[in-house]
Amino acid sequence: MCGIIGCIDRDDIVPTLLSGLSKLEYRGYDSAGIAVANSGVRVVKREGELNELVQRIESEPELDGISGIGHTRWSTHGRPSDENAHPHTDCSSRVAVVHNGIIENYQSLRTELQSLGHEFESDTDTEVVPHIIGHELDAGSSPRTAFYEAVEKLEGSYAIAAVFEGHDEVMAARQGSSLVLGVGDDATYVASDITALVDRTDSVVHMDDGEFAFLSTDGHEIVDENDERQSKTQTTIEWDAEAVAKGEHDHYMLKEIHEQPAALRECLRDRSTTGQFVTADVFNDDHLGPIHFVACGTSYHAALYGARLLRERGVPAQAFLASEYATAPPPIRDSTLVVGVTQSGETADTLAALRAADERDAQTLALTNVVGSTAARECDDVLYIRSGPEISVAATKTFASQLVMLTLLAHQTSLESGIGNADRLLSALNELSGQIQQVLDTTNAMPTARRLANSSGYFFIGRGLQYPVALEGALKMKEITYEHAEGFAAGELKHGPLALVTEETPVFVSAIGDDETVQKTISNAKEVSARGAPVVAVTDGTTSIERFADVALRVPETHRMLAPILVNVQYQLLAYYTARYLGRSIDKPRNLAKSVTVK
């Protein structure tokens, strides 16, 4: 969602801020702005793309300072506009503030401040923060004390950064929204995302909830809510600037689809020989009991897949939407393990679900991509999927890696319970990267997308392990094409949705193998074909579905547990090419954000 960048002690502070903001564009935004501080505070902000801000800055003379902050905004309070863009200032422009998250008590704070004579220029919840700081400054407080006092009054979630006139510090605070410090040789940075820092430093410090950070020319200081200094370990970022560049591809999404073979090789490194990769502290014989997966969006589809695999092995497992789990958790026993599936490790709903589980004494496990993320730090243990940076809002390579990690988790469960047969699965895992590359090299998704790009809607159906992939295929299609798409368990199509099927609604069917389940799926495909709907089959060639399908997309034969990963690659490519033919904004689809850090 919204992005924050701040730094101090840079000769080229404006280019540094703009560079950081450019790295945060992928999170989704509708306006951007910066503030620089020296003897005064100067703010430049614009609705629209970052290049609109750059053009405005180029017309501003002598815009420079020793400290500065920048922001990309994804609207929550107030429409996109210059006035609602961040940073926001107090009445006298002595302080500028940027903010991620939602301040839940902003309306009462705003009313109180207005009664004291403060005039507001925006509709945002954020603007109350600089006005509270300004009020405290008027009362004689120092900048640091004023910042403390303002943050203490806030309720909700926030990551905040501020600069003051005549004061050589960047101040920051975190509660429920990610903030990380970057430690460089000649400067110190603060950002909402390590992606903003990869071309400046590879050393970061993750802030925790309730902490304040103060960046100065001498370095940085982190204190807790009691003003006690915290000693924090620096983490090395393994990503580099090249990893967050598009390279030869037109879009990050296409780049990341093509990175899946390499991502899975990294995910499987040191793991695919034995499958023993979860520490005994959270995963042992005692935890072959209830397993609750909590997740949102694409990660929820991965969780559905993982829960299905575990149930097939006799382990009671369920997948829950994190937003629902957080508000009404199901009964938790001593042996319950709650697994948070979250690409960023910062998804607010998933963190809330994990914290609700922790409050009920459940063991927690994070399955995430980001080292040092909040989920990774707060859970009892963590599994990293090692996908590298994913910039496109539409998740692709991280979903594939999540499925592989969940496959390994289910495989280890089989070993723990004495029912596992490792050889065939591990052999198939080691072949998977090459098979994905084969799909990428031979796919006919592009002409298929061209043929179907003007359809009135898209249906995806699958059974068993293919059902979560049907949901994910539909999600990708609607995310980046803005067209109606739905995923269904294949047997449910006839229980209502069939009423929507016409000659203008292609149905995508995953039919892998030739067992009884697949034959039932083929029967469902025939039902829609008989009603004139185009049938697009994703198949390994072992079934009869190609005889009546209008289009067939082929995938290599593989282990039943891994086939959904190959099917999903075809669905990703179909969504990508359909969106391209429709002229959509593929990497930054409208209204969406990469890391959803509000509930």
3 state DSSP class of 319 = strand
574 Cβ contact list (under 8 Å, min separation 6): 445, 448, 449, 473, 477, 508, 536, 553
Domain membership of residue 304 (yes or no) is yes
Question: CATH number for the domain including 57?
Answer: 3.60.20.10
Residue 437 located in a structural domain: no
Same domain for 54 and 73, yes or no, is yes
Instruction: Examine the domain organization and report whether 231 and 164 are in the same domain.
Output: yes
Please identify, among 242, 274, 293, the residue that sits at the C-terminal boundary of a domain: 242
Q: Which of 393, 411, 431 is the last residue of a domain?
A: 431
| Six-digit token string for 476 | 């990708």
- Assess if residue 413 is contained within a domain: yes
**pLDDT tens-digit map of 346-394:** 888 999 999 999 999 999 999 999 888 889 999 999 999 999 888 888 9
The pLDDT of residue 280 is 42
Tell me whether residue 327 is in a domain: yes
Nearest CA-CA partner of 159 in 146, 147, 175: 175
326 plus 383 within the same structural domain: yes
Give the span between the Cα atoms of 540 and 514, in whole angstroms. 10
Span 542-550, mean pLDDT?
A: 86
Q: What is the mean pLDDT of residues 279-305?
A: 79
Q: How far apart are CA 398 and CA 389, in angstroms?
A: 9
Asked whether residue 336 falls in the same domain as residue 449, the answer is: no
The mean-pLDDT minimum among 31-35, 286-290, 299-303, 435-439 falls in: 286-290
Closest C-alpha among 100, 108, 94 to residue 75:
100
Instruction: Please give the pLDDT value at position 200.
Output: 85
Task: Identify the CA nearest to 460 among candidates 510, 392, 400.
Answer: 510
Is 280 among the domain residues?
Answer: yes
CA distance linking residue 132 with residue 122, whole number of Å: 15
pLDDT band at 589, cuts 50/70/90?
confident
Please report whether residue 356 resides in a domain: yes
> Do 400 and 448 belong together in one domain?
no
Average pLDDT, the chain: 88
With contact defined as beta carbons under 8 Å apart, do 113 and 128 qualify?
Answer: yes
- What range does the domain containing 79 cover? 3-242
Q: How far apart are CA 501 and CA 529, in angstroms?
A: 9
438 CB burial (10 A radius; 0-12, 13-18, 19+): middle
> Per-residue pLDDT tens for 553-576?
999 999 999 999 999 999 999 999
Question: Does residue 570 lie within any of the structural domains?
Answer: yes
* Mean pLDDT value of segment 40-54: 90
Q: How far is it, in rounded angstroms, from Cα 366 to Cα 155?
A: 26
Q: How many domains does the chain have?
A: 3
- C-alpha dist (Å) from residue 508 to 6, 53, 253, 302, 570: 46, 42, 21, 19, 10
Write the pLDDT tens digit of every residue in 295-328: 999 999 999 999 999 998 888 999 999 999 988 8
Tell me the pLDDT tens digit for each residue of 86-125.
999 999 999 999 998 889 999 999 999 999 999 999 999 9
Q: CB of 565 within 8 A of CB of 432?
A: yes
Are residue 405 and residue 455 in the same domain, yes or no? no
Omega within 30 of 0 (cis) for the link into 468: no
Query: Looking at residues 466-472, what average pLDDT do you find?
Result: 96
**Residue type (1 letter), 10:** R
In the DSSP assignment, the letter for residue 498 is G
Which residue intervals of 222-362 are DSSP H helices? 252-258, 260-268, 297-312, 322-327, 348-359
- What is the pLDDT confidence band of residue 279, given thresholds at 50, 70 and 90? very low
Number of other CB atoms surrounding residue 106 within 10 Å? 19
Residue 217 or residue 322, greater confidence: 322
438 found inside a domain:
no
Active site residues: 2, 594
| Rounded alpha-carbon distances, angstroms, from residue 64 to 122, 165, 167, 172 | 25, 13, 14, 20
Averaged pLDDT for residues 487-492: 87
User: Do 234 and 276 fall within a single domain?
Assistant: no
Higher-pLDDT residue of 273 and 51 is 51
Rounded Cα gap, residues 33 and 69, in angstroms: 9
Angle between the N-to-C axes of helices 422-442 and 563-582, in degrees from 0 to 180, rounded to the nearest 10 = 20
Same domain (yes/no): 250, 238: no
Beta strands 317-321; 235-236: pairing state: unpaired
In angstroms, the CA 298 to CA 396 distance is 9
Q: Is there a contact between 317 and 304 (Cβ–Cβ < 8 Å)?
A: no
* CATH number, domain with residue 355: 3.40.50.10490
Is the domain of 225 the same as that of 171? yes
Task: Verify that 190 and 283 share a domain, yes or no.
Answer: no
Residues 399 and 259 in one domain: yes
Contacts of 281 (CB under 8 A, 6+ apart): 380, 381
Structural tokens at position 426: 């591990």
Residue that is last in its domain, among 410, 431, 452: 431
Do the Cβ atoms of 174 and 209 come closer than 8 Å?
A: yes
Q: Are 411 and 493 found together in one domain?
A: no
Distance CA 525, CA 508 (A): 9
